[in-house]
Amino acid sequence: MEIDLDLLNRFERGLTPWDLEASAVPARLLGYGEISAIFEIEGLPGLALKRLPLFIDRGRAEAYAADFDEYCALLTRAGLCLPAARAVVAEPVPGRPVSLYIAQERQPADRLGQALIHTLPRSEITGLIRAVAREIDRVWRFNRDQAPEIEVAIDGQISNWVLTPGGQLLYLDTSTPLFRQNGRERLDPELLLLAAPGFIRWLLRRLFVDDVMNRYYDPRQVYSDLAANLIKEQRPELVPLAVAAINDGREVEPLTVESVQKYYRHDRLIWTVFLTLRRLDRWLATRVSRRRYEFILPGKIKR
């Protein structure tokens, strides 16, 4: 994949993360995940970008890029299809953290899972959820075959999948390389904590980090997340259908509509608190202490 590095470096230098539209190189938001924003920038057509301003030096950013490549290779070996992607380190700007950009082939908005659950007929939505669950199964099979050397995590939410016109499912959410080698987590959890406000990190470290990191390795939680995500994406009436599709032929302890709702309430609480604190931190940084705030935060999210 070709990327105009000069342009990317210019974008990095001229970026105002708290006001993306005001950046020197114009940019437009494409979507939000729980942690980060996805955007495109003028002059890099066809690319969806994510910026990770997390690194104290170039070496650490390059190590993350290598982990990203390895994670993508593992998912591919497990049988998943991924859009073309590349991780590149931006030229460091003095006085700021080093940013890694993950560029991915941009996918049409109307083919994203969260669009399809609103536009496809009900029977095809069932088919979509079955197909996503089967893709997730590949990861558990792979983990069984590779044990104990390798274990790969996945975030199965419907918004992480794209259905191509040819009927192929692509997995998008590759930017957090969660995998274990001989039981050891490759990703430094402190990197995830950097996205959180400094004043709350100690608490998150104690209460949430293990929970959030472990859930993506746990089949039942990953399927619960897939079903619960339908509530966030404003189709709660699809949960029973998803529960039935997921339970069908799988060995995990069966999901119920209630267990999915409970999962969702817990999940919503965690992410709402997290985002509120990040907004507060941004406000303190930009309005009170006049520091630079490095993260591009989501706008209002309907849950």
Ligand X SMILES: Nc1ncnc2c1ncn2[C@@H]1O[C@H](COP(=O)(O)OP(=O)(O)O)[C@@H](O)[C@H]1O
Q: Which listed residue (48, 152, 226, 239) binds ligand X by CB under 6 A?
A: 48
Q: Which listed residue (3, 20, 25, 30) binds ligand X by CB under 6 A?
A: 30
38 binds, among ligand X, Mg ion, none (CB under 5 to 8 A by kind): ligand X
Point out which span in 16-24, 35-43, 116-124, 273-281 binds ligand X (CB under 6 A).
35-43
CB nearer Mg ion, residue 80 or residue 285: 80
| Dihedrals phi, psi of 190, to nearest 5 degrees | -60, -25
User: Closest by alpha carbon to 185, among 214, 225, 208, 147?
Assistant: 214
- E runs forming strands in the chain: 27-32, 37-41, 47-55, 85-89, 98-105, 150-152, 161-163, 169-171, 179-181, 184-185
User: What b/e readout covers 199-224, taking b as 16+ CB neighbours within 10 angstroms?
Assistant: ebeeebeeebbeebbebbbebbbbbb
Taking the complex as a whole, the smallest distance from the CB of residue 176 to ligand X amounts, in Å, to: 6
Taking the complex as a whole, the smallest distance from the CB of residue 143 to Mg ion amounts, in Å, to: 20
107 binds, among Mg ion, ligand X, none (CB under 5 to 8 A by kind): ligand X
Cβ pair 232, 264 in contact under 8 A = yes
| Dihedrals phi, psi of 283, to nearest 5 degrees | -65, -45
Instruction: Sort 112 into a burial class: Cβ within 10 Å, 0-12 / 13-18 / 19+.
Output: buried
The CA radius of gyration of the chain, in Å to the nearest whole number, is: 19
135 binds Mg ion (CB under 5 A): no
CB nearer ligand X, residue 18 or residue 32: 32
CA distance 280 to 286: 10
Taking the complex as a whole, the smallest distance from the CB of residue 235 to Mg ion amounts, in Å, to: 17
Q: Please, which of residues 11-40 interact with Mg ion by CB under 5 A?
A: 33
Q: How many CB atoms lie within 10 A of CB 198?
A: 11
What 3-state class would DSSP assign to 137? helix
Point out which span in 14-22, 33-41, 139-147, 227-235 binds ligand X (CB under 6 A).
33-41
Identify the residue whose tokens are 């998912």: 75
Taking the complex as a whole, the smallest distance from the CB of residue 114 to ligand X amounts, in Å, to: 6
267 binds Mg ion (CB under 5 A): no
CB nearer Mg ion, residue 78 or residue 285: 78
Amino acid at 275: L
Q: Please, which of residues 263-302 interact with ligand X by CB under 6 A?
A: none
Taking the complex as a whole, the smallest distance from the CB of residue 254 to ligand X amounts, in Å, to: 27
CB nearer ligand X, residue 151 or residue 225: 225
229 binds ligand X (CB under 6 A): no
Taking the complex as a whole, the smallest distance from the CB of residue 145 to ligand X amounts, in Å, to: 26
Q: Please, which of residues 171-190 interact with ligand X by CB under 6 A?
A: 172-173, 175
Q: Please, which of residues 153-182 interact with Mg ion by CB under 5 A?
A: 160, 173
Phi-psi region of 246 (alpha: psi -120 to 50; beta: other; left: phi over 0): alpha
CA distance 119 to 129: 14
CB nearer Mg ion, residue 232 or residue 282: 232
| Residue ranges that bind Mg ion, judged by CB under 5 A | 33, 160, 173
The footprint of ligand X (CB under 6 A) covers: 30-36, 38, 48, 83, 104, 106-107, 112, 159-160, 172-173, 175
